Chains A and B, each alone.
Chain A
Amino acid sequence: MKRILSLLLVSVMLLALAGTAFAQDKDWEIVVVPKDASNPWFVRMKVGVDEYAAETGLNVYQKGTPEIDATLQAQLVQDLIAQGVDAICVVPVNPESLEPVLKQAMDAGIVVIAHEGASLENVNYDIEAFSNTGYGAFIMDNLAEAMGEEGLYTTMVAHVTNASHNEWADAGVAHQKEKYPNMTLLADEARVESEDNGDVAYNKAKELFKKYPDLKGIMGTSSYDAPGVARAIDELGLVGKVFTSGTGMPADNKALLESGTVKSLTLWDPALAGKAMIALAVKVLNGEAIEAPIDLAVDGYTALTFKEGSDKVLEGQGWIVINKDNVDSFGF
C-alpha cells in the first residue's frame, strides 16, 4: 500500500514538473514587423531577434515588407493575424493608419507590442528605448556642441506624420530654448522632410543652405538625415562651417565621422530594442504582472518605467553617442 502510495506521489510530482516545463516551453510564435526589410537599422534589429531565438529556442522571427510603405505593412500584419501568431511586435510606419489593423489583432487575442509608436492605442505595450523628450534633448546637446552653442538651425524628420521623429524634434527645440539662448530656430522652415531617403535629405539640405546662408546646423532624426545632409555639406564646401547631428549607424557613417564632416551621431541599438520587445511579449504571454520598474534582462532595458500619464508606454535608458573615437567598437 505504502509502495503504491509513494509511486502515485512520485508520478503526480513528475506530472506537475512536466506541466510547468510544458508551460515554459510552450511554442509561442512571436513575429517582429519592422518598417522595412532592407534598412540597415532593421537589419540590425533582425540580428537581435535571431540572437534571441537562438538563446531561448523560442519560435521568434522578423518579417519585413520590401519597402517602407504603411499600406504594405498593414497588409503584412493582417496576414500574420490570419496565420494566428501569438504575438506581434511592430515598428509602425504610420501609427494612425495601423491602428485599425492592430485592433483586429488584439480582438483576435494576439499580444501586440510596439516600438517607436508611443501614440498607439491598440497595443498591449509600447517600448521606447528612452523617453522621446530625453532623446531629442540629447541630439540637441550634440548639435549645440558642434555648433559652438550659437547660430541658426532647423530640424529634419522623415515625414511630418512620423510620431517619434517629430517628438524628438519638438523636444530638441524646447531643450534649445531652455539651455542654448544663443541658438535660434529657422522660423520659415522649422521642419523639413527627408522622406527616409538619403538623396532627398541631400537635396533638401542643398536648398536650405542656398536659401538661408546664415543656417549653421540641421538637427536630423531619421537614420538617413545626417548622412544625407553631410553629403551636401561636403559638396557645398561647408565642412567646419555648418553642422549636423542625428541618428546614424556606426559602420555606415564611419568615413563621415573620421573625416570630421559629422562630429557625433546619436543612437540606440535596434538589436536590443528588438530583444526587449520580444522579452516583454513573452512576459505578457506568460501572464506575468507588468509593474514598473520592469527588468527585461536586456541592456538599457533593465528598469523600464511608464511614461508619465500612460499605462502603455514604457521607457528605457538606451541612448548612446557615437563619434570618431568609438565608431569601431559597436560591431555593426
Chain B
Amino acid sequence: MQKNLKKLTKRSEPYIFLVVLALCLLIEVRSGQFFTANNLVDIASAMVVPGLFAIGTFMVIVSGGIDVSFPALASLTSYATTKILLDAGYTGGIWLPILMSMAMGALLGAFNGVFIGFLGLPAMIVTLGSSSVFKGLMQGALNSVQLTVIPKGMQSFGTSALFVATNPVSGLTSRMPLGFLVFAAVLILSFFIMRYTFFGRGIYAIGGNEVSAHRAGFHTKRTKFLLYVFVGMTASLAGLIRTCMMQQNHPTNMLGMEMNIIAGVVLGGTAITGGAGSLTGCMLGTLLIVIVENSMILIGIPTIWKSVFVGALIIIGTGISAYQVVRANRTGGFKSRIREVKA
C-alpha cells in the first residue's frame, strides 16, 4: 500500500488531477454553477473535439514527433466531405460522411507519414509544411467559404442527444451530443492500442530511442507511418463532429487550436522529448484546458485578462508536472523512467 502511494506521488497525473479539482472548486465557489448537471454536460460536450485531437497529438508526441497540421487536416477533410455531399444532394445517414472524411484523413495522414516515417524528415518541419498545403488546398483548390447548411444526416447527428441535462434551479437544459460516444470509443481503442499492442509499444519504444527500438526488432519506419495515418483519421473525425455540432462548416475556425491542444498534452505529463506519458494524464491535461477556456466568465475573470490567466495556468501546470519528472529522475534514476513507460 505504502509502496503504491509512494509510486503515485512520483507520477504527474495525481498532481494534474489535484489542479483540475482545485480549479473546479474555485469555479464552484465563484459561481455556484460548476457542479450542476447542465454545466458538467456542457464541459463534456466542449471536450469532444479537443479530446479527439489530443489523443492523436499524444500518440505523436510519445513517438518523439510533433504534429501541428491536424487542425488544417481536420478543416480540409470536413470541408471537402460537407461540400461534396451537399453538391451531391446526399440525404442519408451519418455513416457515409464519417467514412468519407476518415478515408481522406487517412490519405492526408499518410502524406505526413511518408515524409516523417519513410524519409525520416523532422516532424515539425513536415507538419508545418503540410499544414500550409492542406490550408492551401482548401482555400485554393476547393475555394472554401463558410457552409451554413450541412447535409441532413450530419444535421441530425449534431442535434440529437444521448440525454438532456436540466438544471432544476434555473431550468437551463444542455444536450450531451452523440459525438461524445464517438470520442469515448476512440479513447478506449487508443488506450488498448497503446497498452496492449505491438504497434503501441513500438510508439513508446521509438520515442524512447529510435535506434534501440529498431535494433530490438520494431519496424520503426512502418510504425511511424501508420501512426500518422491513425492520427489523420482521428483528426478528420474530430473535424466532422465539430461541423455536425456547429450545424455549419466554418473552414478556418479550427485553425490555431494546435497550440492549446499540445499544451494540454504536455500539461498532462507527456514528455515533449517522447517515450513517456499516459493517456490518462493527457486527458486530464486537455480537460484542464477545456475547463479553463469555458469558465472564464463563471470565475469572473475580465475579458481583457483572459489570455494572461490561461497562459499562467499552462505554465504553472506544466511546471508542476515537469518538476515531478525531474524529481522522479533524481531519486529513481533510470528505473522510474522505465516505470513511466510501463504505465
A residues whose Cβ falls under 8 Å from a Cβ of B:
36-40, 43, 66-68, 160, 188-189, 191-193, 197-199, 202-204, 206-211, 213, 231, 235-238, 251-252
- The answer for the CA separation of A189 and B31 in the assembled complex, in Å, is 13
B172 to A238, Cβ gap below 8 A? yes
Question: What are the interface flags for B228-257 relative to A under an 8 Å C-beta threshold, 1 for contact and 0 otherwise?
Answer: 000000000000001000111011110110
> Nearest Cβ in chain B — how far from A250, in angstroms?
11
A210 to B139, Cβ gap below 8 A? no
Assess whether B194 is interfacial by the CB under 8 Å rule.
no
Assess whether B156 is interfacial by the CB under 8 Å rule.
no
Given A38-B146, A237-B173: A211 in contact with B297 (beta carbons within 8 A): yes
B294 to A37, Cβ gap below 8 A? no
Could you list 14 examples of A-B contacts with CB < 8 Å?
A43-B145, A67-B252, A193-B303, A198-B250, A199-B250, A203-B42, A203-B294, A207-B294, A209-B172, A210-B36, A210-B298, A213-B170, A231-B247, A236-B173
- The answer for the CA separation of A274 and B24 in the assembled complex, in Å, is 48
> Nearest Cβ in chain A — how far from B151, in angstroms?
15
- The answer for the CA separation of A12 and B74 in the assembled complex, in Å, is 66
* Number of residues on chain B facing chain A (CB within 8 A): 41
Instruction: Identify the closest chain A residue to B251 (Cβ).
Output: A38
> Nearest Cβ in chain A — how far from B170, in angstroms?
5
Contact partners of B139 in chain A: CB under 8 A? 37-38, 66
Instruction: Identify the closest chain B residue to A42 (Cβ).
Output: B145
- The answer for the CA separation of A235 and B31 in the assembled complex, in Å, is 21
Contact partners of A67 in chain B: CB under 8 A? 135, 252, 255-256
- The answer for the CA separation of A165 and B170 in the assembled complex, in Å, is 31
A160 to B171, Cβ gap below 8 A? no
B46 to A210, Cβ gap below 8 A? no
> Nearest Cβ in chain A — how far from B302, in angstroms?
8
B145 to A235, Cβ gap below 8 A? no
Instruction: Identify the closest chain A residue to B177 (Cβ).
Output: A235
Q: How many A-B residue pairs have CB under 8 A?
A: 93
B residues whose Cβ falls under 8 Å from a Cβ of A:
31, 33, 36, 38-39, 42, 46, 135-136, 139, 144-146, 148, 167, 170-175, 242, 246-248, 250-253, 255-256, 293-298, 300, 303-304, 306
A235 to B253, Cβ gap below 8 A? no
A237 to B252, Cβ gap below 8 A? no
B252 to A36, Cβ gap below 8 A? yes
A207 to B295, Cβ gap below 8 A? yes
B171 to A237, Cβ gap below 8 A? yes
A235 to B173, Cβ gap below 8 A? yes
Given A40-B145, A160-B303, A203-B46: A210 in contact with B39 (beta carbons within 8 A): yes
Given A251-B148, A252-B248, list of 16 further CB < 8 A pairs? A39-B146, A40-B145, A67-B255, A160-B303, A189-B297, A192-B303, A198-B246, A199-B253, A206-B174, A207-B297, A210-B36, A210-B298, A211-B300, A235-B174, A236-B173, A252-B146
> Nearest Cβ in chain B — how far from A204, in angstroms?
7
> Nearest Cβ in chain A — how far from B22, in angstroms?
20
> Nearest Cβ in chain B — how far from A48, in angstroms?
16
A206 to B42, Cβ gap below 8 A? yes
> Nearest Cβ in chain B — how far from A327, in angstroms?
13
B172 to A210, Cβ gap below 8 A? yes
Contact partners of B148 in chain A: CB under 8 A? 40, 251-252
- The answer for the CA separation of A115 and B256 in the assembled complex, in Å, is 26
> Nearest Cβ in chain B — how far from A32, in angstroms?
17
> Nearest Cβ in chain A — how far from B287, in angstroms?
15
A160 to B172, Cβ gap below 8 A? no
B304 to A160, Cβ gap below 8 A? yes
B300 to A188, Cβ gap below 8 A? yes
- The answer for the CA separation of A206 and B245 in the assembled complex, in Å, is 15
Given A198-B248, A252-B148: A211 in contact with B175 (beta carbons within 8 A): no
Contact partners of B256 in chain A: CB under 8 A? 67
Interface centre among A204, A206, A238 (most CB of B within 10 A): A206
> Nearest Cβ in chain A — how far from B169, in angstroms?
8
Contact partners of B253 in chain A: CB under 8 A? 197-199
Contact partners of A213 in chain B: CB under 8 A? 170
Given A199-B246, A231-B247: A191 in contact with B303 (beta carbons within 8 A): yes
Instruction: Identify the closest chain A residue to B172 (Cβ).
Output: A236
- The answer for the CA separation of A192 and B300 in the assembled complex, in Å, is 11
- The answer for the CA separation of A289 and B192 in the assembled complex, in Å, is 74
- The answer for the CA separation of A36 and B172 in the assembled complex, in Å, is 36
Contact partners of A236 in chain B: CB under 8 A? 38, 172-174
Contact partners of B38 in chain A: CB under 8 A? 210, 236
> Nearest Cβ in chain B — how far from A96, in angstroms?
15
> Nearest Cβ in chain A — how far from B49, in angstroms?
9
Instruction: Identify the closest chain A residue to B175 (Cβ).
Output: A235
> Nearest Cβ in chain A — how far from B32, in angstroms?
9
Contact partners of A66 in chain B: CB under 8 A? 135-136, 139, 252
A204 to B297, Cβ gap below 8 A? yes
- The answer for the CA separation of A192 and B298 in the assembled complex, in Å, is 12
- The answer for the CA separation of A198 and B76 in the assembled complex, in Å, is 18
Instruction: Identify the closest chain A residue to B293 (Cβ).
Output: A203
> Nearest Cβ in chain B — how far from A243, in angstroms?
16
- The answer for the CA separation of A208 and B294 in the assembled complex, in Å, is 11
Contact partners of A208 in chain B: CB under 8 A? 297
> Nearest Cβ in chain B — how far from A10, in angstroms?
52
Contact partners of A198 in chain B: CB under 8 A? 246, 248, 250, 253
> Nearest Cβ in chain B — how far from A142, in angstroms?
21
B31 to A38, Cβ gap below 8 A? no
- The answer for the CA separation of A181 and B126 in the assembled complex, in Å, is 59
A68 to B252, Cβ gap below 8 A? yes
Instruction: Identify the closest chain A residue to B248 (Cβ).
Output: A198
What 10 A-B pairs come out closest when comparing CB atoms? Answer: A207-B297, A252-B148, A237-B173, A67-B252, A236-B172, A210-B33, A66-B139, A197-B253, A213-B170, A40-B146
Contact partners of A210 in chain B: CB under 8 A? 31, 33, 36, 38-39, 42, 167, 170, 172, 298
Contact partners of B145 in chain A: CB under 8 A? 38, 40, 43
| A237 contact from B42, B172, B247, B298, Cβ within 8 A | B172
- The answer for the CA separation of A251 and B149 in the assembled complex, in Å, is 10
- The answer for the CA separation of A202 and B42 in the assembled complex, in Å, is 11
